[in-house]
Amino acid sequence: MIIKIKVEVMDGSGIVAQTEIICQTPTETHVSISSITHHPSSYAFSNKKEIDVAVAIPKGARADWMIEKLCEIGVRSVFPLESRFSKSNGVVITHGKTNRWERLIIESTKQSMRNIPMKINETTHLSSLLSLLRHDTSLYSSCFFGDPAGLRFNTLTNSTEQQQQQQTQQQTQQQTQQQ
C-alpha cells in the first residue's frame, strides 16, 4: 500500500530525520528521508539553559507523575536522592520502576517535541552530590536547593569538618561566657 505521510524520526542522541512513509506492508514500513539534522540539545528547549534536578523520589504514582512532568518541562537529567525524606532509607530503584520511567520519558519526550530523552542517574546521597559540586565547580554554574527544614544554602554546603569546627568554637565561647 502506498502512503504519503510525513514523519519526524529521532534517535535519542539529537539526530532528527524528516521522512515520508512511502510504502507499508504488515511486516515492513519504507520511508524516504528528505533531511537529517543534528540538534545538540533538546529541540523545543534549545534556547534555554539545561536543568538537572536532584530530588528525593516520592512514593508510587507521584514518582511517575514527577518524572513525566520534569521531562515535559525540559529537565536534562534527574539525580534521585537518598535522604531522610526518601520513602525509605536505602531506597533502591527497581528494574521494573526504571523500565516504567523509561517508557514515561519516551512518551513525554515525544509529547514535548524533544529529541533527547531525559536521563535518570544512579541514586546518590545529598552529601555525595554536594561534595561533587564543591570539588568540581565546572559541572554547574548555578545550584539552588529547596530544603523542607528551611536550611540556608551555606548550612547545606558546609562540610562535616567545618560543622565540627563551628561546634567547637561555639562550645569554647559558651565556656568562656560561663566563666
DSSP state of 44: G
Would you give per-residue pLDDT tens digits along the chain (179 residues)?
A: 566 788 888 777 778 888 898 888 889 888 888 999 887 655 445 556 678 888 888 877 888 999 999 998 888 888 888 766 565 444 567 778 888 999 999 898 888 878 788 999 888 887 888 787 777 666 665 666 665 555 555 544 444 455 556 667 777 887 777 76
Could you give the C-alpha distances from 96 to 15, 19, 83, 100, in angstroms and in order? Answer: 28, 33, 22, 6
pLDDT on residue 137: 62
| pLDDT number for residue 69 | 93
pTM above 0.85, yes or no: no
Q: What is the pLDDT of residue 156?
A: 47
Could you tell me how far CA 2 lies from the centroid of its own chain? Answer: 42
pLDDT at 43: 47
Please list the residues that pair with 7 across neighbouring strands: 19
Residue 155: its pLDDT value, please? 45
